[in-house]
Amino acid sequence: MTAALRKTCPQGLNIYFDNVGGDILEAALANLARGARIVICGAISQYNVTGPVQGPRNYLSLLVYRATMKGMLVFDYANRYAQAVQEMAGWMAAGKLKSREDIVEGLETFPDTFLKLFKGENLGKLILKVSD
């Protein structure tokens, strides 16, 4: 992941939104641009660990690149949900925002489908389709 980010963003990441944590966050921190801003909104890779939560070992990248990292929760913006839905629907209709969906059929697949979220096996929004 670190090498792929470096190749894709040779001048570093200016803004990084993290909802995964663990190795993915570490790869991002290893590829920061000076003055980068990181938003931490979750850490799904750590939610089911039975031992200590893995934090970024390379947090000194924040110092070296004069970066900032701040946490946020979607509830911080609850008063703007309606506005967000309206704007995002417009972006999707205009083709400015695209969504990937991983659709799995059958209620009987629920346990394995749910676990896909924690194993990183889905690409995009994971949808369990139970009927037409």
Question: How does pLDDT run across 86-103, given as a tens digit for each residue?
Answer: 999 999 999 999 889 999
- What is the arithmetic mean of pLDDT over 127-131? 93
pLDDT of residue 117: 85
Q: Say which residues have a Cβ less than 8 Å from residue 119's Cβ, sequence separation at least 6.
A: none
- The backbone torsions φ and ψ at residue 11, rounded to the nearest 5 degrees and listed phi first, read -100, 10
pLDDT of residue 55: 85
This prediction has a pTM of: 0.72
Strand partners, 103: 127
Query: How is residue 131 written in tokens?
Result: 């009927």
pLDDT of residue 122: 85
pLDDT of residue 124: 87
pLDDT of residue 33: 98
Give the burial class of 2: count Cβ atoms within 10 A of its Cβ; 0-12 exposed, 13-18 middle, 19 or more buried: middle
**pLDDT tens per residue, range 2-57:** 999 999 999 999 999 999 899 999 999 999 999 999 999 999 888 888 998 888 89
Strand partners, 32: 13
pLDDT of residue 19: 92
pLDDT of residue 121: 87
Query: How is residue 77 written in tokens?
Result: 């913006």
**Residue ranges per structural domain of the chain:** 2-75, 99-132
For domain 2-75, give the fold.
Rossmann fold (3.40.50)
For 27-122, strand residue ranges (E) read: 32-40, 68-71, 101-105
Buried b (16+ CB within 10 A) or exposed e, 114-129: eebeeeeebeeeeeee
Amino acid at residue number 65: Y
